Amino acid sequence: MTKRDGEYAPAAIESKWQERWNEADLFRAEIDHDKPKHYALTMLPYPSGDLHIGHWYAMVPPDARARWMSMRGYNVMYPMGFDSFGLPAENAAIKNNTHPGKWTYANIERMRGQLRSMGNMFDWKREAVSSDPEYYRWTQWLFLKLVENDLAYRKRAPVDFCPKCNTTLAREQCIGDDRLCERCSTPVVKRDLTQWFFKTTHYADELLDFGKFDWPQRVLTLQDHWIGRSKGAEVTFTTEAGDDLTVFTTRPDTLWGATFMVIAPEHPLVEKLTSDEQRDAVEAYVAEATRATDIQREAADREKTGVFTGGHAINPVNGEKIPIWIADYVLMTYGTGAIMAVPAHDTRDFEFARKFDIPIRIVIAPEGEEPPAVEDLTEAYVVKGPMVDSGELTGTPADQALPKAIAYIEEKGSGKGAISYRLRDWLISRQRYWGCPIPIVYCDSCGIVPVPEDQLPITLPDDIEWKPTGESPLKLHETWKKTDCPTCPMEAERETDTMDTFMCSSWYHLRYLSPEHDQGPFDQEEYDYWMPVDSYTGGIEHATMHLIYTRFFHKALRDAGVVKGDEPMSQLRNQGMILGEDSEKMSKSQGNVIAPDDLVQRYGSDTVRSFLMFFARWDMGAPWNSKGIDGTARWLKRVYSLIPGGVDDAPEQADAAVLRQLRRKTHQALQRVTRNFEQYQFNTVVSSLMELLNHMTDAARAGAVGSSEWDESCRLYVLMLAPVAPHLADELWHEMGNEDFVHRQSWPEVDAEAAAEDEVTLVVQVNGKVRDKIQVPADVTKEKAEELALASDAVKKHLDGRDPRKVIVVPGKLVNVVG
RNA sequence: GCGAAAGUGGCGGAAUUGGUAGACGCGCUGGAUUUAGGAUCCAGUGGGGCAACCCGUGGGGGUUCGAGUCCCCCCUUUCGCACCA
């Protein structure tokens, strides 16, 4: 080998190797029972038009890890596809007067090319596109499975509606305290509509079981809060008219302190409970509450409002007759839409009672303490202690109060222990065109009829007016909705709403298994081999949307007998976000967007890949730094010029010590890189490689080139580089005389002996402060280390004549003399 | 208000999980080479001090021979939830 002359020219190298990998079908993933499988999955992109640097950040480090897994002997599948139904296509269609599909598929074509420029090990034969009829045929089929298994239903309910997107939204798609539309940030409003729902709440408890998989604690906490399980009781009060009025409470032990009840303005009993004298006031209040948006209603700091119905109910534990009020701080969507109010011990009820001058009664008091007089209370009396003034249960200690109160009401037949969830069923109907049609037909005589399997897919019509009106464009189509009833000779109408696109993305990992399979959503043999997903990567923003939906979907399909296992993704890791150079979120209007195409053109894919792995902790993200990438570019240039030929003007031969050190540094780097890949710590993978290159440069200058140690270092270096900078690695690998692709090589084993230090720097401390450093053999004995430390001049000086009281020796590391 | 995470040089970040704080890279400062540099190479770079040394991981306590790392209190930032009965 001689020193290299040419400059590093990534463009030529990268296109050459991408072509050769393609020709060899190198990344085709096929079932191989002789190898352990590894299903690597990155959340699929929406085909918005251009690949963003964020897409690279989401896809490239996981690609490096997938390649590393492959070199470690795993049969790796890393598929990619497009989540291609959705609103932006319709908005673009309206703007440019083109069909949403045309826009979508043009974008997909463009993005495929951009994705290829990453040099990722995607198996393109497994590509799945959710707006293809061959894909959504099975989305519809899966919908029918849920219907069949009683996990889908149609209901008229107040639903969240985005006036700008002109469609309903799932609860999860209304973001933040302002309840903004997830897509366009417009405040959502309530509408009363008949819509399709999935019973996510059916799996609320199972969705809280996080014991079966390795996901970040952060995501689990978010899901835990989102599901929001509360334990308590349902208690039934009786109204004057004899109707049951059931409330949910987490504090059945305070039942004796209930001095009024509150029902939500939308509660079905409002009409019946209202007395003639109160009718005008109630109607005015309900009208007002309906007009107010959820934002205004749910603001916690807003002063309580409400109105008396004129009606009363009987408290089942003590037979007391208490007034029923209407107030918008009680939500129809949580619990039963009605509460018993215990103003003494609940801040909200207290505030309400004081405002409307309703009696307050204390029923909990700390052990051995006299409770204050109610008229002296300035806020709710939130205390722990035994029950007081509570009939037969008076005196029940705090730790027994809940079970005893529940047992008491159960015995009386007026209630039972109950659990309430914050999670709501998933509203999947959307009044838009560019989505998967819901395969349902409405017949005047048969009612709701699922479309038979053999008539799938129900495809979207192309001749359509897609201007949003708040109604589904499919509804306004002249002929599309007209059909024959599948079960009787009558004419019938198709469902004209389409499905939430989260439905399409809840099962895409299954379509990748066999995207061309036409006998079912996936090929069972592929499923049995590849599932579950071993490494799932994507942004944290999906914690309470996609990641809950896909878990729900898997469980629903399991119970429908379609899939096996309890969880679809065994391991999840989240990447952070790349901000603009100004530390703001990247956006076109901010003018701080970094375009990966430009970077690839200027630096080459390998440099962009390496920099994305290096510049920040992957799970944290960071602001972009356009200067920083030059450092990574320099590194790869130096790799290219050093390996394998070395440097000019070096001695013929190196000392044995130099060669020994070269081997040591090489194997130490291998040790670190291996561990860092395992733990998704991509930044230190690259920094370890940079560090090793610095050592190799020193060794080359000291004459190491030509030795077997040098050759080994070069070989290991290129193998370690392969997942990070795959094109350059293959180029160097072949220059070094190898025939096969570097990506088909095995990940090297660490030679522990080579990595071991034979001399270590012994840190010598006096009272915990570093005072000296002594070179000693790595296997120095405790006694010898202590002796050497005590003999040190620096130690003697800092002991200042005192005798050491204690000497702590950490073998091979440090001696601390306490004096 | 509740919950979670994070605070380390001018900047991004290392620290093998209780044992040399600041690896690696950016930036900066000198120098070499060059007609030129947003090129390349060499040296330096936490703060203070001529030095011996002293100080230093958001702040304050504590445990320990020894704390960026463990415990308690506080502050700041980011994210999530928020009248959930």
- Distance in angstroms (rounded) separating the CA atoms of residues A511 and A521: 6
Q: Using the CB atom, is residue A314 less than 7 Å from strand B?
A: no
- CB burial readout A779-803, b (16+ within 10 A) else e: ebeeeebbebbeebeebeebbeeee
- What pLDDT score does A468 carry? 66
Burial A214-231 (b: 16+ CB within 10 A, else e): ebeeebeebbeebbeeee
Output the CA angle A754-A755-A759, nearest 5 degrees: 95
- pLDDT band at residue A741 under the 50/70/90 scheme: very high
- What is the pLDDT, as a whole number, of residue A482? 92
Q: Which residues contact A418 (CB under 8 A, 6 or more apart)?
A: A232, A233, A234, A248
Does the N-terminal peptide bond of residue A532 adopt cis geometry, omega within 30 degrees of 0? yes
Query: Which pLDDT score, from 0 to 100, does residue A95 have?
Result: 85
Question: Is the pLDDT higher at A222 or at A144?
Answer: A144
Q: Where does the pLDDT of residue A593 fall: very low under 50, low under 70, confident under 90, or very high at 90 and above? A: confident
Query: Has residue A176 got a pLDDT over 70?
Result: no
Which pLDDT score, from 0 to 100, does residue A484 have? 93
Residue A540 is given by DSSP the state G
DSSP one-letter string for A311-350: EEEE-TTT--EEEEEE-TTS-TTSTTSEEEE-TTT-HHHH
pLDDT digits (tens, 9 = 90+) for A654-671: 789 899 999 999 999 999
- Residue A441 CA from chain centroid, whole number: 35
Q: Determine the length of chain A.
A: 819
For Cα atoms A20, A24, A29, give the angle at the middle one, nearest 5 degrees.
125
* In chain A, residues 517 through 576 whose Cβ sits under 7 angstroms from any atom of nucleic acid strand B: 540, 544
Q: Phi-psi category of A395—alpha, beta or left, where left has phi over 0 and alpha has psi -120 to 50?
A: left
| pTM over 0.80, yes/no | yes
Question: What is the predicted pLDDT for the residue at A757?
Answer: 85
Give pLDDT, residue A463.
Answer: 87
Closest nucleotide C1' to the C-alpha of A249: B85
Q: Would you state the pLDDT for residue A811?
A: 81
Evaluate if residue A783 carries a pLDDT over 90. Answer: no
Rounded CA–C1' distance between A615 and B57, in angstroms: 21
> Is residue A588 over pLDDT 90?
no
Most confident of A137-146, A168-177, A489-498: A137-146
Nucleotide nearest to A672 (CA to C1'): B16
What's the angle, vertex CA A647, arms to CA A641 and CA A650, rounded to 5?
A: 175
Predicted confidence band at A3 (pLDDT cuts at 50, 70, 90)?
low
Per-residue model confidence (pLDDT) at position A34: 96
In the prediction, which pLDDT does A300 show?
55
In the numeric block, which tokens belong to residue A583?
């530390």
User: Is A584 (CB) below 7 Å from strand B?
Assistant: no
A605 touches strand B (CB under 7 A): no
Output the distance from A590 CA to B33 C1' rounded to whole Å. Answer: 42
d(CA A180, CA A182): 6
Would you say residue A369 has pLDDT above 60?
A: yes
Mean predicted confidence (pLDDT) in A741-770: 90
What is d(CA A287, CA A602) in angstroms, rounded to the nearest whole number?
Answer: 62
pLDDT of residue A257: 94
Structure tokens at A553: 């979907």
Report if CB A807 to strand B is under 7 Å.
no
Averaged confidence pLDDT in chain A: 91
Residue A187: pLDDT band by 50, 70, 90 thresholds? confident
Q: What is the pLDDT of residue A16?
A: 95
How many CB atoms lie under 10 A from the CB of residue A208? Answer: 16
Nucleotide with smallest C1' distance to residue A630 CA: B26
A668: three-class secondary structure by DSSP: helix
Mean pLDDT over residues A181-203, rounded?
85
Choice among A330-339, A437-446, A543-552, A581-590 with the minimum mean pLDDT: A581-590
Question: Over the range A557-596, which residues count as b (16 or more CB within 10 Å of their CB) and which as e?
Answer: bebbebbeeebbbbbbbbbebbbbeeeeebeeeeebebeb
Cα A452 to chain centroid, rounded: 35
The C-alpha R_g of chain A, in whole angstroms, comes to 34
* Protein residue nearest nucleotide B81, by CA to C1': A225
Residue A328: nearest nucleotide (C-alpha to C1'): B83
Q: Which of chain B's bases lie under 7 Å from a protein CB?
A: 3-5, 11-15, 19-21, 23-27, 39-42, 53-54, 65-67, 79-85
* Minimum-distance nucleotide, CA of A611 to C1': B25
Confidence at residue A296, expressed as pLDDT on a 0 to 100 scale: 56
Per the model's pLDDT, the better-predicted residue between A779 and A308 turns out to be A308
Quote the pLDDT of residue A208. 92
Q: Is the CB of A299 under 7 A from strand B?
A: yes
The reported pLDDT for the residue numbered A2 is 60
Cα gap A564→A679, rounded to integer Å: 28
Per-residue CB contacts under 7 A with strand B, chain A residues 642-681 = 681
Max mean pLDDT among A74-78, A395-399, A541-545, A765-769 falls in A74-78
The complex's ipTM works out to 0.93
* Residue with the larger pLDDT of the pair A489 and A159: A489
Q: Name the residue type at position A801.
A: G
pLDDT at A763: 87
Give the nearest nucleotide to A299, CA to C1': B83
A689: nt with nearest C1' to CA: B24
Distance in Å, residue A361 CA to nucleotide B5 C1': 42
